[in-house]
Amino acid sequence: MNPEFVRYAPEYGEIPMKASVREVWLPFNVPLEGRVPWMYLDVRGRVSTAVGITLDDATHELGSPTATERATALAASRRLPWRRGMRGPYASDTDIDAAWDTVKRRTDLIRGGWRRFERLTDLRLTNGAIDRLVFERLDELETLIRGRLARHSNGAVIMPFTSFDSWPADAQLGMLSMCWTTGPSFDFPRFQEAAFTRDWLRCAAECRVYPEIGTAARRNERNQELFRNAFRAECDGSDPEQLLFALP
């Protein structure tokens, strides 16, 4: 039996992420990713769930995973508190493995979006489980970002995001939004150097993630707006705790 998550998002003030960023995280991302209680394939053919949470690290898009990739993905999927239906009993590991395999095979449904996968399996995450999963992943990303090492163009090893806690809220949201789709290990050297020197306009120019499939173009546009807002905030002396970005 899978237990419900016991660790939720930390209270405001316990981590450097601005409270305004945490408050807007779900309404910012749900229009881009959906809020999905079942497993589905994203535009790259990766098994996903919740709000763009990937349960699949296969290196070959739309292809069959290796045995190691499948085992890793199944282990990640089993850690989630899947139920048989929204109010049913917790799913067994066998149920979860079967659901993952069923979804992974249905690349023919990708063009129809995540709604096409609803009837493939009866495994579901509760609303509370989705929230816990999203914020747990968000906090993990922040920790990994702040500790990242990168090589500067001058050859020096730097920690480009170590001052993340002092960034304006818009820059924090833009950084985390990038990582939500690329993961924390993305390799954008020019962006990293710009972030290291708080050159927010250059960050805006270098933050686009490709290929722009699905809602990636909309996310890229939002991220560029966020870094331009960070430039405005520091030039104008605005409160760094508050977002200039306004949800549409």
How far apart CA 205 and CA 222 sit, in angstroms, is 12
Count the Cβ atoms, other than its own, within 10 Å of residue 174. Answer: 28
Residue 24 has pLDDT above 90, yes or no: yes
Cis preceding linkage at 37, omega within 30: no
Tell me the pLDDT tens digit for each residue of 174-189. 999 999 988 877 888 9
Q: What is the pLDDT of residue 69?
A: 93
How far apart CA 188 and CA 206 sit, in angstroms, is 8
User: For a pLDDT cut of 90, what percent of the chain falls above it?
Assistant: 74
Mean pLDDT of 24-53: 96
Domain ranges of the chain: 34-129, 147-236
Mean pLDDT of 29-36: 97
Residue 167's contacts (CB-CB under 8 Å, 6 or more residues apart) are 175, 198, 230, 240
Residue 115 has pLDDT above 90, yes or no: yes
Contact 219, 177 (CB under 8 A): yes
Please report, as a single letter, which amino acid is at residue 40.
Y
Contact 106, 146 (CB under 8 A): no
Strand partners, 48: 40, 54
Indicate yes or no: pTM above 0.85: yes
Question: Coil, strand, or helix at residue 33?
Answer: helix
Tell me the pLDDT tens digit for each residue of 59-69. 677 778 999 99
Residue 220 has pLDDT above 50, yes or no: yes
Out of 81-85, 127-131, 146-150, least confident range: 146-150
Question: Coil, strand, or helix at residue 178?
Answer: helix
Residue 200 has pLDDT above 90, yes or no: yes
Residue 245's contacts (CB-CB under 8 Å, 6 or more residues apart) are 24, 170, 173, 222, 225, 226, 229
